[in-house]
């Protein structure tokens, strides 16, 4: 459900921009401008809406099913009924499960769970903290090592040591399995255009399909618990590593490869000696994104009994215990920040070491050796002595953070709900309701035609064709009306995301200080599990579509801000200076120079904003947004609605693909 920064990689997945749109349609004499065409389309839509309102809307009741949904149900049932006799299960799925289960149990017994003959895990807290510090230092630098030690100690002080280690164990196993497939696949996709073309839509699918949809079927295939949770996480977390590895291989300068060729290197040699070493830095970024995505799955996987922090969050949600949920959420954020900074430092270590020729370099090897010995001693002690194995103390820090969080939310709820209700009603009545009724009360073919026309105008014929296919498939899923309701909320949320993105993005782009101050909270907003802030948002905005929109904004706005800030910063300083010397004031510089020149970044931000908002649709379903999100949650909860939930999940994917293709194509046009 939650992708973390993956898509903010520099100029957005360039692998797709390659050969596709090269021979741009020849149409020089454009008489009408694009905004005018769009205006005309919208006008025609409005007129026809007034005439045809309420006809052929393809509405479907909450409990109604189509034949497709029933067929999905039957498939699901027959899998469940035959799983003990089917050879595919006995010799394939069960084997996979066995291997992964063994791996997960092994890592858990190492750091989080008591093993067979011991009441405590093999390595206690002191050993884990020591290892974390040593590895961070060896692969990164001493600053991130300090961060790692402090972060891990904080987990213990929160009183959540074992839960955190369970989460870490699951994340480590999932990332390990994901990379096992992702790196080779990524290399292959990097070397071959055809593989890349086949893999890309599959990766889109894996990332946009709501996790809720395949969580229940996964337990059919791989049973309840660690193995299923790991596999669900792998499915969600592997795509970034594949994409970024492929991207890295592709970006190795051709001249270098040619040089290797001319020296007589074989394909294998060129790969191992030239391509991989040269793309190592970017590949590590891919690993980083996979780790972040895996952590984002922690709370969702808890719904099928995955151990760890997610469980604490989900249980606290049941009794509306904001403090406890916040505690566990904070631990996830700390884990994420530590792992993020360490892997980032690891990816830049060699370059930095080369640049800073300091005298410690000569000492590095002996120091590394000494550190290894010290770490081994710590591990040994944490294996042997209780005080080093069990984190001491009662987690007092945790309970005081929890009560502070409780007090804050109560104060906010008591004092701000008047303001928030006004904002909610304003946006719901002024923007959301009219737009939603335009989408849901128009005949389906009219909305479809408008979408296709907009696709053509904004993105070209190819994007129009994709839109047409998506519209057709959306109708086939049988949840057209719900899709339109979701579409309305998604668009409204994206508009708000872009407003915030431009305001804060420009500010961050123009001021280093603002950037440095805001960035940590943006990171936290992206990694904090949404389940944590659902309760306060419910208190502020009630169980409404607007609550879902706010949750989506919290998650999607940081991405938009980061991209826009980058875009603004990349506007050449000379251009800004020229404008200043020509007498432009700050407002003019922003609106006439910086924003227009960052147009590429703005379109990319819109693209990512939309995709991120869409990934929150299911969470929205939990707080009163209804529509596709509710269908997906219902499918997860009730057997007879499984098929409908699956169809709703597919509809979310289709909406995502449609937007992605249109905005990508539009971005290519504006930057061309």
Partner 1 sequence: MARQARRWRAGAAGMAVLGLTLTACGGAKVGDSSSDAGGSGGSAKCGTFNLAVNPWVGYEANAAVIAYVAENDLGCKVTKKDLKEEIAWQGFGTGEVDAVVENWGHDDLKKKYITDQKTAVDAGATGNEGLIGWYVPPWLAKEHPDITNWENLNKYAAKFKTSESGGKGQLLDGDPSFVTNDEALVKNLNLDYKVVYAGSETALIQTFRKAEKNKEWVIGYFYEPQWFMSEVPLVKVKLPDYKEGCDADAEKVACDYPVYTLDKIVSKKFADSGSPAYDLVKNFSWTNDDQNIVAKYIAVDKMTPEAAAKKWVEANRLKVDAWLK
Span of 46-54, 60-68, 347-355, 574-582 interacting with partner 1 by CB under 8 A: 60-68
Using rule CB under 8 A, residue 25 touches partner 1: no
Residues 407-466 that bind partner 1 (CB under 8 A): 413, 417, 424-425, 428-429, 433
d(CA 395, CA 323): 14
In sequence order, the 6+-apart residues with CB closer than 8 A to the CB of 445 are 56
- Buried b / exposed e across 568-579, counting CB within 10 Å, b at 16+? bbebeeeebeeb
**Position of tokens 């609106």?**
591
- Give Dmax over CA atoms of the chain in angstroms: 81
Span of 57-65, 179-187, 262-270, 291-299 interacting with partner 1 by CB under 8 A: 57-65
**CA dihedral defined by 98, 99, 101, 104, rounded to 10 degrees?**
170
| Nearest approach, Cβ of residue 342 and partner 1 (Å) | 23
**Among 72, 70, 82, 73, which Cα is nearest to 221's?**
82
Question: Cβ closer to partner 1: 285 or 614?
Answer: 614
Residues 560-599 that bind partner 1 (CB under 8 A): none
Contact track, partner 1, 211-250, x by CB under 8 A: -----x--xx--xxx-------------------------
The single residue among 140, 156, 448, 621 that binds partner 1, judged by CB under 8 A, is 621
Q: How many chain residues interact with partner 1 (CB under 8 A)?
A: 83
| Nearest approach, Cβ of residue 636 and partner 1 (Å) | 7
Using rule CB under 8 A, residue 202 touches partner 1: no
d(CA 207, CA 235): 8
d(CA 173, CA 558): 28
d(CA 292, CA 295): 5
| Nearest approach, Cβ of residue 657 and partner 1 (Å) | 25
Using rule CB under 8 A, residue 96 touches partner 1: no
Span of 496-504, 539-547, 599-607, 651-659 interacting with partner 1 by CB under 8 A: 539-547
| Nearest approach, Cβ of residue 87 and partner 1 (Å) | 17
- Buried b / exposed e across 170-203, counting CB within 10 Å, b at 16+? bbbbbbebbbeebbebbbbbbbeeebbeebbeeb
Residues 277-306 that bind partner 1 (CB under 8 A): 302-305
**Among 210, 227, 209, which Cα is nearest to 218's?**
227
Rg (CA), the chain: 26
SS3 20: coil
Span of 74-82, 167-175, 332-340, 501-509 interacting with partner 1 by CB under 8 A: 74-82
Cα angle at 344 between 340 and 350, to 5 degrees?
Answer: 155
**Among 569, 580, 467, 445, which Cα is nearest to 58's?**
445
d(CA 559, CA 57): 35
Span of 160-168, 183-191, 492-500, 536-544 interacting with partner 1 by CB under 8 A: 536-544
| Nearest approach, Cβ of residue 430 and partner 1 (Å) | 11
| Nearest approach, Cβ of residue 103 and partner 1 (Å) | 19
Phi/psi region, residue 13 (left: phi>0; alpha: psi -120 to 50; beta: rest), is: left
Question: Cβ closer to partner 1: 335 or 633?
Answer: 633
| Nearest approach, Cβ of residue 143 and partner 1 (Å) | 22
Using rule CB under 8 A, residue 640 touches partner 1: yes
Question: Cβ closer to partner 1: 126 or 563?
Answer: 126
Question: Alpha-carbon torsion 634, 636, 639, 642, what sign?
Answer: positive
In sequence order, the 6+-apart residues with CB closer than 8 A to the CB of 558 are 522, 523, 525, 526
| Nearest approach, Cβ of residue 52 and partner 1 (Å) | 20
- Token pair for residue 206? 């894996």
Question: Cβ closer to partner 1: 538 or 651?
Answer: 538
**Among 188, 172, 313, 165, which Cα is nearest to 234's?**
172
| Nearest approach, Cβ of residue 429 and partner 1 (Å) | 7
Using rule CB under 8 A, residue 622 touches partner 1: yes
Question: Cβ closer to partner 1: 46 or 386?
Answer: 386
| Nearest approach, Cβ of residue 180 and partner 1 (Å) | 26
| Nearest approach, Cβ of residue 550 and partner 1 (Å) | 13
DSSP assigned state of 485? H
d(CA 571, CA 564): 11
Using rule CB under 8 A, residue 87 touches partner 1: no
Residues 378-397 that bind partner 1 (CB under 8 A): 380-381, 383-387, 389
Question: Cβ closer to partner 1: 43 or 81?
Answer: 81
Residues 111-150 that bind partner 1 (CB under 8 A): 117-120, 124
Span of 191-199, 343-351, 364-372, 477-485 interacting with partner 1 by CB under 8 A: 364-372
CB 216 within 8 A of CB 642: yes
Question: Cβ closer to partner 1: 327 or 606?
Answer: 327
- Token pair for residue 484? 């339109």
CB 288 within 8 A of CB 342: no
d(CA 8, CA 221): 34
Using rule CB under 8 A, residue 83 touches partner 1: yes
Using rule CB under 8 A, residue 638 touches partner 1: yes
CB 179 within 8 A of CB 290: yes
How many C-beta atoms lie closer than 10 Å to residue 642's C-beta? 22
Span of 128-136, 198-206, 307-315, 439-447 interacting with partner 1 by CB under 8 A: 307-315
| Nearest approach, Cβ of residue 224 and partner 1 (Å) | 5
The single residue among 623, 648, 651, 662 that binds partner 1, judged by CB under 8 A, is 623
- Concatenating the DSSP letter of every residue in 529-563 gives -HHHHHHHHHHHH-SSHHHHHHHHHHHHHHHHHHH
Question: Cβ closer to partner 1: 535 or 557?
Answer: 535
**Position of tokens 């994709």?**
466
Question: Cβ closer to partner 1: 286 or 310?
Answer: 310
d(CA 335, CA 163): 12
Question: Cβ closer to partner 1: 482 or 515?
Answer: 482
Span of 46-54, 289-297, 335-343, 631-639 interacting with partner 1 by CB under 8 A: 631-639
CB 502 within 8 A of CB 555: no
Using rule CB under 8 A, residue 319 touches partner 1: yes
Question: Cβ closer to partner 1: 216 or 565?
Answer: 216
d(CA 417, CA 465): 46
The single residue among 269, 584, 624, 669 that binds partner 1, judged by CB under 8 A, is 624
Question: Cβ closer to partner 1: 212 or 480?
Answer: 212
Residues 474-533 that bind partner 1 (CB under 8 A): none
The single residue among 481, 486, 544, 664 that binds partner 1, judged by CB under 8 A, is 544
Question: Cβ closer to partner 1: 4 or 622?
Answer: 622
């Amino acid at each position: 459900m939650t992708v973390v920064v993956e898509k903010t990689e520099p100029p957005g997945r360039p692998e797709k921009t390659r050969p596709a749109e090269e021979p741009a349609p020849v149409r020089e004499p454009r008489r009408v401008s694009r905004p005018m065409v769009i205006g005309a389309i919208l006008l025609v839509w409005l007129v026809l809406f007034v005439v045809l309102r309420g006809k052929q809307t393809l509405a479907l009741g909450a409990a109604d099913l189509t034949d497709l949904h029933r067929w999905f149900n039957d498939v699901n049932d027959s899998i469940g009924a035959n799983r003990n006799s089917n050879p595919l299960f006995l010799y394939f799925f069960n084997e996979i499960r066995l291997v992964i289960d063994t791996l997960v149990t092994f890592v858990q017994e190492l750091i989080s769970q008591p093993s067979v003959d011991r009441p405590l895990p093999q390595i206690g807290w002191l050993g884990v903290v020591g290892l974390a510090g040593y590895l961070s230092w060896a692969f990164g630098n001493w600053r991130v090592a300090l961060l790692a030690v402090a972060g891990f100690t904080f987990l213990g002080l929160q009183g959540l040591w074992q839960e955190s280690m369970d989460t870490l164990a699951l994340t480590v196993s999932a990332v390990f399995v994901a990379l096992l497939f992702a790196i080779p696949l990524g290399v292959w996709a990097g070397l071959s255009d055809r593989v890349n073309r086949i893999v890309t839509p599959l990766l889109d699918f894996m990332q946009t399909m709501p996790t809720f949809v395949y969580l229940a079927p996964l337990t059919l295939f791989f049973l309840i618990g660690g193995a299923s949770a790991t596999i669900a996480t792998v499915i969600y977390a592997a795509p970034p590593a594949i994409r970024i590895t492929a991207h890295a291989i592709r970006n190795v300068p051709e001249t270098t490869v040619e040089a290797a060729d001319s020296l007589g290197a074989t394909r294998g040699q060129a790969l191992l000696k030239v391509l991989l070493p040269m793309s190592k830095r970017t590949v590590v970024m891919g690993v980083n994104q996979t780790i972040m995505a895996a952590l984002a799955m922690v709370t969702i996987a808890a719904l099928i009994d995955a151990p760890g922090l997610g469980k604490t969050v989900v249980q606290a949600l049941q009794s509306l215990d904001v403090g406890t949920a916040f505690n566990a959420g904070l631990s996830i954020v700390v884990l994420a920040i530590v792992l993020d900074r360490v892997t980032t430092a690891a990816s830049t270590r060699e370059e930095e070491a080369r640049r800073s020729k300091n005298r410690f370099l000569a000492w590095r090897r002996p120091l590394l050796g000494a550190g290894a010995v010290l770490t081994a001693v710590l591990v040994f002690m944490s294996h042997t002595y209780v005080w080093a194995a069990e984190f001491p103390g009662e987690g007092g820090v945790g309970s005081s953070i929890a009560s502070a969080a409780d007090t804050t939310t109560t104060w906010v709820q008591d004092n701000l709900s008047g303001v928030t209700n006004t904002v909610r009603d304003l946006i719901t009545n002024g923007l959301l309701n009219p737009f939603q009724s335009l989408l849901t009360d128009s005949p389906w073919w009219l909305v479809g035609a408008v979408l296709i026309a907009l696709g053509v105008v904004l993105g070209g014929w190819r994007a129009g064709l994709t839109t047409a296919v998506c519209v057709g498939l959306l109708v086939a899923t049988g949840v057209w009306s719900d899709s339109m309701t979701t579409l309305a909320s998604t668009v409204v949320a994206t508009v708000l995301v872009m407003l915030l993105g431009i305001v804060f993005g420009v500010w961050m782009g123009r001021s280093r200080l603002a950037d440095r101050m805001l960035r940590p909270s943006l990171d936290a907003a992206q990694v904090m599990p949404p389940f944590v802030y659902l309760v306060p948002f419910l208190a502020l905005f009630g169980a409404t579509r607007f609550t879902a929109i706010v949750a989506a904004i919290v998650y999607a706005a940081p991405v938009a801000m980061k991209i826009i800030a980058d875009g603004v910063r990349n506007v050449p300083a000379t251009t800004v200076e020229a404008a200043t010397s020509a007498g432009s004031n700050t407002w003019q510089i922003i609106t006439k120079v910086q924003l227009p020149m960052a147009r590429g970044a703005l379109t990319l931000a819109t693209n990512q904003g939309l995709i991120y908002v869409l990934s929150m649709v299911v969470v929205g379903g939990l707080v009163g947004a209804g529509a596709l999100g509710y269908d997906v949650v219902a499918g997860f909860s009730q057997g007879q609605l499984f098929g409908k939930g699956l169809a709703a999940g597919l509809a979310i994917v289709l909406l995502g693909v449609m937007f992605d293709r249109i905005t990508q194509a539009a971005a290519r046009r504006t930057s061309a």
